[in-house]
């Protein structure tokens, strides 16, 4: 409730000052992907902001009692990710994203910023294709498949798709350059949760050799072992997949 209160306050200020921004992940997934919103917990609020409005967004949030943690080495501008903590309660974290793909080497090939998300219908929080793409990018680009809840978001997003959405999904994946990420993520999610619908969708994006390699690297065992300290095989597999992503060889067509 506290997070949602501050999210609403910030969103109102963004709207008032004409800052193009969309709340992604946490509360959006909780309300749109899960039958019981409480089943999807979250610890921060993420705003995806249009590139030209990032500086204004940061200035506005600084006027609402938030401060950025001081770091010796700040990669926020490079990663397009700015973290803000509420001065009176540092457990309240708000993140401003210029792009959900934070790594510059990876962003050359696959990108999900405000404009891209708007182009695939993501301004509407109930858009099933946009929600699936946010979940896929969050899992495969923002992270390295190291938490099961990331994969559960993808499964829930697939469950919201109707058959008529399949062609829209294909177009969205192509628009974002995310064939590799989509094929690999849907493949491991479909296998883990034994979901035929997800596996069928995965096959549609798995024709490229890089995607086939990626699906071998990101195995269910690699995902299960990811949180275990010292799980060398999982770490090697997941980091090898990141290198495969950065090669820029996996875009289809």
Residues 18 and 136 in one domain: no
Report in angstroms the alpha-carbon separations of 249 from 22, 135, 211, 214, 253: 30, 22, 10, 12, 11
Structure tokens at 90: 């540092």
Planar angle of CA 205, 31, 191, nearest 5 degrees: 35
Tell me: do 128 and 203 sit in the same domain: yes
* pLDDT on residue 252: 45
Provide the domain limits for residue 18: 1-98
Is the domain of 165 the same as that of 229?
Answer: yes
- Indicate which CATH number applies to the domain containing 78: 3.30.460.10
Q: Are residues 151 and 253 in the same domain?
A: yes
- The neighbouring-strand residues paired with 84 are 94
Residue count of the chain, please give it: 253
Among 33, 53, 186, smallest CA distance to 113 is for 53
- Percent of residues in the chain assigned helix, strand, coil, to nearest 5: 60, 10, 30
Q: Is residue 57 domain-shared with residue 136, that is, in the same domain?
A: no
Q: What is the pLDDT along the chain (253 residues), one digit of tens a residue?
A: 999 999 999 999 999 999 999 999 999 999 999 999 999 999 999 999 999 999 999 999 999 999 998 876 788 999 999 999 999 999 999 999 999 999 998 998 999 999 999 999 999 999 999 999 999 999 999 999 999 999 999 999 999 999 999 999 999 999 999 999 999 999 999 999 999 999 999 999 999 999 999 999 999 999 999 999 999 999 999 999 999 998 876 554 4
Question: What is the pLDDT at residue 72?
Answer: 67
Among the candidates 41, 72, 98, a domain finishes at 98
Burial grade of 114 (CB within 10 A; 0-12, 13-18, 19 or more): buried
Report d(CA 148, CA 216) in Å as an integer.
18
| Model pLDDT, residue 73 | 74
Model pLDDT, residue 108: 87
**What strands, in cross-sheet order, belong to the sheet with 81-86?**
21-24, 44-49, 89-97, 81-86, 66-67
Q: Which pLDDT score, from 0 to 100, does residue 251 have? A: 52
Residue 116: per-residue pLDDT: 97
Q: Are residues 77 and 20 in the same domain?
A: yes
Q: Which residue has the tokens 């010292």?
A: 230
Place of tokens 């803000």: 84
Of 68, 98, 128, which marks where a domain is finished? 98
CA distances from 223 to 115, 131, 242 (A): 31, 22, 14
């Amino acid at each position: 409730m506290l997070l949602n209160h501050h999210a609403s306050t910030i969103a109102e200020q963004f709207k008032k000052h004409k800052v193009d921004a969309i709340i992604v992940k946490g509360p959006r997934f909780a309300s749109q992907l899960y039958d019981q919103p409480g089943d999807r917990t979250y610890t921060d609020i993420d705003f995806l902001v249009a590139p030209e409005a990032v500086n204004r967004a940061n200035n506005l949030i600084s006027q609402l009692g938030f401060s950025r943690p001081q770091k010796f080495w700040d990669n926020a501008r490079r990663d397009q990710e700015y973290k803000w903590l509420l001065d009176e309660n540092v457990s309240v974290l708000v993140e401003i994203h210029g792009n959900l793909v934070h790594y510059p080497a990876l962003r050359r090939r696959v990108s999900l910023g405000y404009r891209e998300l708007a182009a695939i219908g993501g301004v509407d929080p109930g858009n099933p294709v946009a929600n699936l793409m946010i979940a896929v990018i969050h899992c495969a680009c923002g992270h390295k498949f190291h938490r099961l809840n990331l994969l559960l978001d993808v499964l829930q997003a697939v469950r919201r798709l109707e058959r008529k959405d399949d062609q829209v999904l294909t177009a969205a994946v192509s628009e974002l350059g995310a064939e590799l990420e989509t094929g690999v993520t849907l493949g491991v999610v479909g296998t883990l949760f034994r979901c035929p619908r997800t596996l069928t969708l995965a096959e549609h994006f798995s024709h490229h050799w890089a995607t086939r390699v990626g699906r071998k690297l990101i195995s269910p065992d690699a995902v299960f072992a990811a949180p275990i300290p010292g799980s060398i095989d999982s770490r090697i597999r997941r980091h090898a997949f990141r290198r495969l992503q950065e090669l820029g060889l996996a875009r289809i067509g």
